Structure 1
Amino acid sequence: MQTHAGAIPISVISALLTAFISYIVYQCLLSPLASFPGPFLAKVNKLWRAYATYRGRWHSDIVALHRRYGPVVRIGPNELSIADPEAFLQIYRLTWVLGAALGTSRPFAKSASYSVVQGSRPFDLAGERNEKVHAAQRRLVARPYSMESTLRLEPQVDELIRILLGKLDAVATPPTSQVIDLGHWLQLFAFDAIGIVSFTKPYGFLASGSDDGMFPRLEQTMHSASWLMHAGWFFRLHQKVMPWLGNWLAVNDRNGYFFQFAQREVQARKDHGGSDLDIVGQLFQAQQAKAELNDLTISYMMTSNVFAGSDTTSIALRAIFLNLIRHPHVMEKLRSELKNNLNSSPEKIVNAAEADSCPYLQAIIYEGLRVFSPAGFMLDRDVPAEGMMIGGRRVPGGSVVGTSPWVIHHSVEVWGEDAEEFRPERWIETENPGHLRRFFFAFGGGTRTCIGRNISWLEIEKLVSTLVMRYDFKLAPDAVISEYCGALVFLKDLRVQVSRRDI
């Protein structure tokens, strides 16, 4: 058949159409993952997931998808979202126990999506995909993050709490009681706390009441990383042309702006000294026996503290206080426990040992982080070459599987019919609290559990108990609480009226 000059031959069009239809048929009917349900576009194009993440509602969208399709949802040509409890434990926590029966004896490695997070960093606990390399890196820096080391930093955290109390007292004492964005002040506290535990000194955000533009920059970087993790080809292309076209992706701030910020803080800490108890001080001491722990490696580690340490804790604090305000009977029950167990007064800063002795306080923290986990993204893992079984169906090696904390934390199969309800009593009433904690995923799980968990928990338990005893909180009439998912789930507009309880 003849064609006009410049026109595409019919045979080429036919071949392309045939290839396209064949690809669709393969993905929907013949692929090893074809039996798993999910949105049509997700089955045939990975860009579906990138766009779904970019929209900023992924934490709730993925929960809705599981309600529609069941415990396993296909969210990419080669990717599955998992809500099945047994599969969840296999992927993240119990591979070394179940290995003999399930044909695998090693943890599932992080998927290729984490390469976007790591970039060119040689040391990165969050992005490192190789399990052996990650284990070696974690051992190198783990000691300062232990509970023993964390408790030594408690006096420094107390100093910061006193600054926050002074700021809140100024707006909480009649007749000057006024509405404030409590979330903003909690984030200022959490960011300064990272400065204290890492470098001995706060950044001064809490004292000034301003973040100097840091918080929006953190949020933009998080959001950029969240969708680019699923458009890796675009990220790699951008990195190649960046020397000529400039940087257009906020994700590069993680290994650029925030690394430079941390590097300056490390150098300042070295030049001017500080407490040997802070994280950098302990790492400097460890340098004497560990040559590979050089200043650059320490700066990479502190970048993770700066980049992720404050937002995760501040979101957790916001979620806990929002739920306490919305459930006044829980608030009063907590106050009663603190008063009876600790003889606590509004003037007292509760210490960690006292907080640990209050089971209802601990239950509130667990429950607050269950119903509103700071992490909203899926923790993707590669299925080992041997493959795995999920619900009686085989998933071949090389597939990507993962679970979002929001999915497993809202699973009716794990938590019961009231899984959506904020009910701290579930952690006390259960006959097997260890079973519930196996499914507590706010800090990740297994070998990849967040290294800063102890620091975050210390800040949360001390601040929640201290503020609850000192102040009454009431949600402002004009508060419009909103959520936005950009890797982390940012809780916005926690506007409350604060008043002193002893006045």
Structure 2
Amino acid sequence: MALYALFEGAIPGTLSYAIIFLLPVLYIGYSLYLHPLAHIPGPFLAKLFPVPLWILTYRGIEASTLTAEHEKRGPVIRIAPNEVSVSDGAALAPIYISKGGFKKSENYTNFHIEGHPTLFSALDMDHRALRAKAVLPMFSTSSIRKHGWHTLKAAASQWADVLESAKHSSSSSSSSSSSSPRRINILCSARALALDSLSAYLFGRRYGALDELLSAPQDTPDPSFTADAFVNAFVAFGRFFNLPPPLFHLAESLAAHTSFTPQIHASIADVDAYAASIVADAAGANTAKPSGSDPQSEAGEEEEEEEEEEEEEGNTYQARLLRAGISPAEAAAQCKDLIFAGTDSTGMNLATIVFHLVRNPAVYARLRAEVLAMPDDDDDDEGADLMALPYLSAVVKEGLRISMANPTRLPRVVPVGGVTLPSGHFLPAGSIVGIGAHALHMNARTFGDPERFWPERWLGDGGGGGNAEMMGRDSVAFGRGGRACVARNLAGVELYLGVERVVRRGVLEGARAVGERVRVLEWFNARVVGERIDVVWGA
């Protein structure tokens, strides 16, 4: 009636009714037949409104639903009026790699931290470049192996201690006639390892998550660490990722006010305090200068000693940002973004690998034989021997493929001039296009029997199932191109060390997985249903 009132008096009644009727008809006709994406197949409602996509995302079934749609309609489908999904790995190059890839969509701004664009969420490449240049050297494989190997190995060994303690607790409970074996949430402890690893190497101060788990009383029913609730809360915001920023912030605010428990608030405050503390320490170290000394008069040996000390104390992630001119507030936000992303994704990937090792005794036995054949000593200072183990590498690759810590599309904006995809479909400038890990990793034509955990597929010895070149191309656990995960090398080392430590120590002997598979909500960051991946030891 409001629309009718607008025309009343200015346009005869019959004509106004006709206009009101024709407007939606014209919109539908344009969307279906005249829109630049009209030639792209897709569900009827998706061509008209973005709401169906928002609902799929909120329900946590977006990725698997789109994969099924691709199987039915082809490699390029329209999933919203101005958005398409692609399941063809050949399109990775033009979308994400060539010339730096297409610009990220505005949805990424939904993941700014306290208003600060992060290395992950920034759209302005010049803004990002200043920050990336300051910290990217820390993420090179050579730097990680040279400066972080022993630190990361120590954290992985402590994780094995945590699992050994949990094994004892679970086995003890199973020996009691009054109780069944106690379930141990390996997702929680894997996250603790990820957090302690990244914080020790990048920030120069271990968060202490593994210490929290080890210090928990043996009879604690479900031990956790302080930052775990912070990670879970941030994961949950991923269900709103596809909303336009104004709607996202409204949904974010409502969710925070209605679902944040005192535990979540306390967890966020703890992470805030940690981030503020490491930034404050770095700021103090950057401004502290020795007084009364003449640099020109120092002996060469003394200069070398000071340079080594600076390398140790002033070369942290946050110190590098501050020296690049980044404000302390933003540096803390960048650290919190790294805490969330590095803890959630690596924890998810590592826990999934352990789950499947427990469920596949033959895989576990083969991996353990390979690991035990390599001496456990410190001669391999930078991990070259460990990282070269073929079956361990295959297990890690298969774990990344099947885990899909980020299963959904990574949307990009088609640039001026448009793009013709390898499939022959033309996408005009301004349209949104994305490829999701689920659509690629669950493609049976690339990965035979894709739901099976099968490391042999990666060995290239004829015992796997799939085309090696296509499998390598279509493995996108960390994204692709210039905007791929900056911490992918660090995450890889954490996975190799974490798996090697628990397998070498025999911690998984006698373990049973709870459930047939890891069920997830397919948000931007996958959320395990119940936030648990459980194993038990004992009868």
**Does the pair score TM above 0.5?**
yes
The answer for the alignment partner of 2:246 in structure 1 is 233
1:496 is the counterpart of 2:535: yes
The answer for the alignment partner of 1:114 in structure 2 is 108
Q: Is the 8 A contact 1:24 1:44 kept in 2?
A: yes
1:267 is the counterpart of 2:280: yes
SS at 2:28's partner residue? helix
Rounded Cα–Cα distance in structure 2 between residues aligned with 1:279 and 1:48: 51
The answer for the alignment partner of 1:59 in structure 2 is 63
1:411 is the counterpart of 2:443: yes
Q: Is the 8 A contact 2:62 2:408 kept in 1?
A: yes
Rounded Cα–Cα distance in structure 1 between residues aligned with 2:376 and 2:527: 32
1:141 is the counterpart of 2:140: no
- Report the Cα offset of residue 111 of structure 1: 1.0
The answer for the alignment partner of 1:40 in structure 2 is 44
Rounded Cα–Cα distance in structure 2 between residues aligned with 1:68 and 1:291: 50
Alignment deviations for residues 230-273 of structure 1 (CA, whole Å, 9 cap, x no partner): 2333136679xx7xx9965999x9xx966665233322455699
State the TM-score, normalized to the length of structure 2.
0.78
Alignment deviations for residues 441-461 of structure 1 (CA, whole Å, 9 cap, x no partner): 111110011111121111110
Rounded Cα–Cα distance in structure 2 between residues aligned with 1:76 and 1:397: 16
Alignment of 1:349-388 (within 5 A): 352-388=383-419
C-alpha spacing 1:132/1:67, structure 2 compared with 1 (3 Å): same
SS at 2:449's partner residue? coil
Task: Choose from 370, 381, 392 the match for 2:424.
Answer: 392
The answer for the alignment partner of 1:326 in structure 2 is 359
1:29 is the counterpart of 2:33: yes
Structure 2 gap segments, 5+ residues each: 175-180, 214-222, 287-308
Instruction: Give 2:512's aligned amino acid.
Output: L
Q: Is the 8 A contact 1:51 1:227 kept in 2?
A: no
- Report the Cα offset of residue 13 of structure 1: 4.2
Instruction: Give 1:165's aligned amino acid.
Output: A
Task: Choose from 65, 68, 76 the match for 2:72.
Answer: 68
Rounded Cα–Cα distance in structure 2 between residues aligned with 1:23 and 1:319: 46
1:466 is the counterpart of 2:501: yes
1:292 is the counterpart of 2:305: no
Q: Is the 8 A contact 1:228 1:234 kept in 2?
A: no
Instruction: Give 1:40's aligned amino acid.
Output: F
Rounded Cα–Cα distance in structure 1 between residues aligned with 2:469 and 2:382: 25
More off after superposition, 357-366 vs 418-427 = 418-427
Alignment of 1:112-261 (within 5 A): 112-118=106-112, 121-151=115-145, 152-173=147-168, 176=172, 178-179=181-182, 180-209=184-213, 210-211=223-224, 214-235=227-248, 248=257, 261=274
The answer for the alignment partner of 2:87 in structure 1 is 83
1:306 is the counterpart of 2:343: no
Q: Is the 8 A contact 2:152 2:497 kept in 1?
A: no
SS at 2:79's partner residue? strand
More off after superposition, 63-72 vs 483-492 = 483-492
Alignment deviations for residues 419-465 of structure 1 (CA, whole Å, 9 cap, x no partner): 33322222221798565333221111100111111211111101101
1:335 is the counterpart of 2:377: no
SS at 2:392's partner residue? helix
SS at 2:395's partner residue? helix
C-alpha spacing 1:269/1:350, structure 2 compared with 1 (3 Å): same
Rounded Cα–Cα distance in structure 2 between residues aligned with 1:403 and 1:279: 41
Q: Is the 8 A contact 1:59 1:489 kept in 2?
A: no
Task: Choose from 294, 315, 327 the match for 2:348.
Answer: 315
Structure 1 gap segments, 5+ residues each: 97-105
C-alpha spacing 1:114/1:284, structure 2 compared with 1 (3 Å): closer
C-alpha spacing 1:445/1:477, structure 2 compared with 1 (3 Å): closer
C-alpha spacing 1:355/1:140, structure 2 compared with 1 (3 Å): same
Q: Is the 8 A contact 1:368 1:422 kept in 2?
A: yes
The answer for the alignment partner of 2:291 in structure 1 is none
Q: Is the 8 A contact 2:278 2:318 kept in 1?
A: no
Q: Is the 8 A contact 1:266 1:280 kept in 2?
A: no
SS at 1:128's partner residue? coil
More off after superposition, 463-472 vs 309-318 = 463-472
- Report the Cα offset of residue 186 of structure 1: 1.3
C-alpha spacing 1:260/1:48, structure 2 compared with 1 (3 Å): farther
Instruction: Give 2:164's aligned amino acid.
Output: D
Rounded Cα–Cα distance in structure 2 between residues aligned with 1:286 and 1:62: 41
Rounded Cα–Cα distance in structure 2 between residues aligned with 1:351 and 1:161: 15
State the TM-score, normalized to the length of structure 1.
0.83
Amino-acid identity (%): 25
- Report the Cα offset of residue 200 of structure 1: 2.7
Alignment deviations for residues 303-361 of structure 1 (CA, whole Å, 9 cap, x no partner): 22112110000000112112222222111111121122x0459x999973332120111
Rounded Cα–Cα distance in structure 2 between residues aligned with 1:55 and 1:329: 36
The answer for the alignment partner of 1:441 in structure 2 is 476
C-alpha spacing 1:374/1:425, structure 2 compared with 1 (3 Å): same
The answer for the alignment partner of 1:102 in structure 2 is none
The answer for the alignment partner of 2:295 in structure 1 is none
Rounded Cα–Cα distance in structure 2 between residues aligned with 1:250 and 1:149: 41
- Report the Cα offset of residue 223 of structure 1: 2.6
Rounded Cα–Cα distance in structure 1 between residues aligned with 2:413 and 2:461: 33
Alignment deviations for residues 34-57 of structure 1 (CA, whole Å, 9 cap, x no partner): 121222221111122122111122
C-alpha spacing 1:473/1:313, structure 2 compared with 1 (3 Å): farther
Q: Is the 8 A contact 2:50 2:81 kept in 1?
A: yes
Name the count of aligned residue pairs: 476
Higher radius of gyration, 1 or 2: 2
C-alpha spacing 1:87/1:263, structure 2 compared with 1 (3 Å): same
The answer for the alignment partner of 1:100 in structure 2 is none
Instruction: Give 1:129's aligned amino acid.
Output: L
Instruction: Give 2:195's aligned amino acid.
Output: F
Alignment of 1:8-27 (within 5 A): 11-27=15-31
More off after superposition, 78-87 vs 154-163 = 154-163
Rounded Cα–Cα distance in structure 1 between residues aligned with 2:5 and 2:116: 54
C-alpha spacing 1:268/1:139, structure 2 compared with 1 (3 Å): closer
C-alpha spacing 1:475/1:65, structure 2 compared with 1 (3 Å): farther
C-alpha spacing 1:261/1:33, structure 2 compared with 1 (3 Å): farther
Q: Is the 8 A contact 1:223 1:487 kept in 2?
A: no
SS at 1:281's partner residue? coil
Q: How well do the aligned residues superpose, as a CA RMSD in angstroms?
A: 3.7
Alignment deviations for residues 387-419 of structure 1 (CA, whole Å, 9 cap, x no partner): 111322211111100011111222234x24433
More off after superposition, 307-316 vs 426-435 = 426-435
Alignment deviations for residues 264-287 of structure 1 (CA, whole Å, 9 cap, x no partner): 3322455699x9667973346647
